[in-house]
Amino acid sequence: MTILHLRRARTSLVLDARGPGLPRVVHWGGDVGDLDDDGLRQLTDATAPPVVPSSFDEPTVLSVLPEASAGWSGRPGLAGHRDGRDWSTCFRLDGLDVRDGGPGAARVTVRASDPAAGLTVTIEITLDPYGLLTVRHRLRNDGDSGYELRELTPVLPVPAVATELLDLTGRWCRERSPQRHPWQHGTWVRESRRGRTGHDATLLLVAGTSGFGFGHGEVWAVHTAWSGDHVTFAERRPTGESTIGGGELLAPAEIRLGPGESYETPLLYAVWSDAGLDGLSDVLHTHLRARPGHPRSPRPVTLNVWEAVYFDHDLDRLRALADRAAQIGVERFVLDDGWFRGRRDDTAGLGDWYVDEGVWPDGLQPLIDHVTGQGLQFGLWVEPEMVNPDSDLFRAHPDWLLAVPGRLPPAWRHQQVLDLGRPEAYDYVRERLDALLTDHPGIRYLKWDQNRDLTEAGHHGRPGVHGQTLAVYRLLDELRGRHPGVEIESCSSGGARVDLAILARTDRVWASDCNDALERLSIQRWTGLLLPPELIGTHIGPERSHTTRRVHDLGFRAATALFGHHGIEWDIASISIAEQAELAAWVALHKRLRPLLHSGRLVRVDHQDPAVWAHGVVDHEQTRAVYAVARLTTSVAQVPGAVRLPGLDPGRRYRVRQVSDVPAPATFDLSAPAWLAAGVTLSGAALTRVGVQLPALHPEQSLVLEVDAVD
């Protein structure tokens, strides 16, 4: 065969396909230059693993599908058996193609088979024009009996210079909490058996050089694009190999391939950068924005009425909220939970997707007409995957649950999960949602919630998470096909379903049910590691947080919500005239900055004081930028050090000033540096390498700066 070299956007992938088996991954990472065949051969030979004492007589071959037959004693890429046989494979290469993988992308397709085991594997590797790598395996059972698959996971090598690991964990209302540690020998495994991505999902597993940060260091990362049970891992062997990978986490007997049947893994997204975590994000954000289905219209400023009315649905009160929303500059009005039959609290009604005639005697149309008459879009909350035992649907079809025969899974928020793998359950949900959207063409947005883990998720006596996940994808795809003008938000008791597979079918995520601005700073910062701002719902909550009871002024809440898909989660009909005016000013500021915020490059500041956080967005021409600096707590130092403003062109001059559209934080007047009143003009080199001294803000306050090139 040959040695392949894929190059895109300063990233290289080198595959050695000269042997009879699966290709060896010679290199994945920084561009190795324009190498001819001889140069590739010399690079491959120079990096080949040696034969070491007291080991195999031939070097171990590490492919994207590691096999014990090639000498690999680490985590296997494939695990399965055929009634106890064919549990180990020895794939031999049948063919290898390099072809166009889409605009500007290159794709390698590897085909290999093991006739003795009765298996064929196809491996697709795509390097897109921005440097993002995706890997997917497809396994076919060529035998004459069933094959039980336990694991099929793509694996990629990482060089030994990566000595630290970072990933994310979390819980409800504290999603995306970073954790970091040295990368030592052994395996770091993150598994999710929640039946959904999970509040504790790692999002990205990052390996990097010592001390890497947002703006510096060499880093490699993977993301498993799957909304069900999944695994992501990093492994460092005493023999010298270091790998990262991920895939679907399968339950026993969940995938049993009959003769001729195939299984396809979720996409594993892999990205490298020598510019730290912001470099990873830049590649991922650019890739997502280039998708054909990425939202193109300005992201509407949204009012969700949940924290204003909860289950108390009154037409006049909701009309008043819509009137106030229009005055403030809101562009989308979302009616949350409580509109359907029997839904007066969270203990009943899920599954009965009919407008409650007792609450809405004339249906939803009067409210829809009023909202749209104010120039706002109308949105509606649904939770179609769930059912309350106290519902007509459950009473009529108790057998439609995702459950082990003979018992119910533990209750969670008084609800169970509908088995969408059952055609009759799937058809019912699809018909109800389709009818709802057809009968109410004014609904332009669905807040699609999913409020519980899938526990003991049984389908006809066998594990059902895999089938349920595919059924949800199919349901979303069908509804979007029938109603292409309707946008959908992925909400899962906040941020428990945030992954690139669900985002192939939805238009944004709800990052968290927590609207506490201090908590949201961290949640949004780390969600932004994977997603660009326009895909992350960021709302201004009330003065006292619904979930933490912490109190914040409007400026801090609004500055936190500014950098995302902006919205409000607050009873704006009861706020003061002064609050209305300030809120309207923040909404107007967001709209003015929205073209920049939703297209530019996200940057996060590595500041030496942990009490000071800063982040910003810089346009790709490096002519404009906006930054927010937040004080989380008091500092040991009375005056924190200057804040650098990354992402600017060192050779340009820039005007830096505080935004004038909104009130300044009220408590920094005694400590404001002299430059702040009139602004300052400095070179990009000075701003990125020295920075500017900012006021000693009190804890839980933020300052927003605008930066414009002046030459």
Q: How far is CA 489 from the centre of its chain?
A: 12
Nearest Cα to Cα of residue 368 among 353, 378, 376? 378
Walk along the chain (711 residues) in steps of 10 and give the mean pLDDT of each run: 91 95 95 95 91 80 91 94 96 93 92 98 97 98 98 97 98 97 98 97 97 98 98 95 97 97 98 98 98 96 97 97 98 98 97 97 98 98 98 98 96 97 98 98 98 96 97 98 98 97 98 97 98 98 96 97 98 96 98 98 95 97 98 88 96 96 73 88 98 91 97 81
Q: What is the pLDDT of residue 1?
A: 60
Phi, psi of 290 (to 5 degrees): -85, -5
Q: What is the pLDDT of residue 102?
A: 86
Q: For the chain, how are helix, strand and coil distributed in percent, rounded to 5?
A: 20, 30, 45
- Tally Cβ neighbours within 10 Å of residue 94: 12
Q: Kindly provide the residue ranges of all beta strands, DSSP E only, lying in 383-474, ordered along the sequence.
A: 386-387, 416-417, 443-448, 458-459, 462-463
Helix count (H) and strand count (E) of the chain? Answer: 12, 38
Q: What is the pLDDT of residue 638?
A: 82
Q: What angle do CA 543, 544, 550 make, to 5 degrees?
A: 120
β-partners of residue 616 are 603, 627
Q: What is the pLDDT of residue 61?
A: 81
Query: How far is 32 from 37, CA to CA, in rounded Å?
Result: 13
Distances in Å between the Cα of 671 and the Cα atoms of 67, 636, 638, 668, 697 are 63, 16, 10, 5, 8
- Tally Cβ neighbours within 10 Å of residue 621: 9
Helices marked H in 273-379: 276-289, 306-309, 315-328, 365-373
Q: Return the SS3 of 331.
A: coil
Q: What angle do CA 633, 637, 643 make, to 5 degrees?
A: 75
Q: Which residues are catalytic?
A: 449, 513
Phi, psi of 305 (to 5 degrees): -90, 5
Tokens 């590490």 — which residue?
Answer: 62
CB 490 within 8 A of CB 447: no
Phi, psi of 695 (to 5 degrees): -60, 155
One-letter identity of residue 559: A
- Tally Cβ neighbours within 10 Å of residue 481: 8
Q: Return the SS3 of 24.
A: strand
Q: What is the pLDDT of residue 60?
A: 81
What pairing do the DSSP bridges indicate for beta strands 416-417 and 386-387? antiparallel
Q: What is the pLDDT of residue 667?
A: 57
Q: Which two tokens stand for residue 300?
A: 């509407």
Phi, psi of 639 (to 5 degrees): -125, 115
Q: What is the pLDDT of residue 53?
A: 81
- Tally Cβ neighbours within 10 Å of residue 210: 12
CB 586 within 8 A of CB 554: yes
Distances in Å between the Cα of 272 and the Cα atoms of 218, 235, 361, 378 are 8, 17, 57, 41
Q: Return the SS3 of 694.
A: coil
Q: What is the pLDDT of residue 49?
A: 84
Torsion angle of alpha carbons 44, 45, 46, 51, nearest 10°? 120
Nearest Cα to Cα of residue 530 among 483, 558, 560, 495? 495
Helix 365-373 × helix 315-328 angle, to 10°: 20
- Tally Cβ neighbours within 10 Å of residue 485: 10
One-letter identity of residue 693: Q
